[in-house]
Amino acid sequence: MTAGDRPGGTAHGVVEIYTDGACSGNPGPGGWGAVLQYGDRAKELWGGEAEATTNNRMELMAAIKALEGLSRRSKVRLHTDSSYLRNGITGWLASWKRNGWKTASKQPVKNEDLWRRLDAAAGKHEVDWLWVKGHAGNPGNERADELANRGMAEALAASRAGRR
């Protein structure tokens, strides 16, 4: 196991981020979670939406909130179990921007609002986008998943309390 494989172990000068999104139904209520590690310091972020959202939107939101949560320009290793997120940011995004936010089949890009926000947040940092297999025992990914589910549960509880 290397330093980048677990929360608490980071390469020198690098912020290790683990992100995940969760949805109960797709679409359905959702949540996002992120674990940020720098040296011995750790920060956990989470949130959610009680209204119908998608897992892809929650995956994007986790990365956005994590990158926006950094107080200064940083070298980042962002770990995600979402191929949609990793492929989008490392491959498809440049084409979408070049094509006026249209896909190769000339359709509007789904979640354009969040892709634009992620592009802006990522542009402030030096980010390596790493894919990790979900639910495979990676401690950082597992904790991000727990936080995403917590965010979803808290959003649902707040929504229910507001209807009383």
Q: Which two tokens stand for residue 142?
A: 């597992």
Closest CA to 118 of 158, 157, 62: 62
Please give the Cα distance from 49 to 60 (Å, whole number): 13
Instruction: Express each pLDDT in 116-135 by its tens digit.
Output: 999 999 999 999 999 999 99
Mean pLDDT of the chain, nearest integer = 92
Whether 21 is catalytic is yes
Domains in the chain, number: 1
Domain that holds residue 112: 3-155
Collapsing DSSP to helix, strand or coil, 85 comes out as helix
Please give the Cα distance from 22 to 145 (Å, whole number): 7
Catalytic residue among 79, 88, 145, 151: 145
Residue 3 has pLDDT above 70, yes or no: no
Catalytic residue among 16, 33, 79, 81: 81
Instruction: Express each pLDDT in 16-70 by its tens digit.
Output: 999 999 999 999 999 999 999 999 999 999 999 999 999 999 999 999 999 999 9
Handedness of CA 72, 74, 80, 84 (dihedral sign): positive
Q: In this structure, what CATH number is given to the domain that contains residue 59? A: 3.30.420.10
Residue 119 inside a domain? The answer is yes
**Cis previous bond, 108, omega within 30:** no
Catalytic residue among 30, 31, 59, 140: 59
Residue 16 inside a domain? The answer is yes
Closest CA to 151 of 77, 55, 69: 55
Whether 59 is catalytic is yes
Residue 162 inside a domain? The answer is no
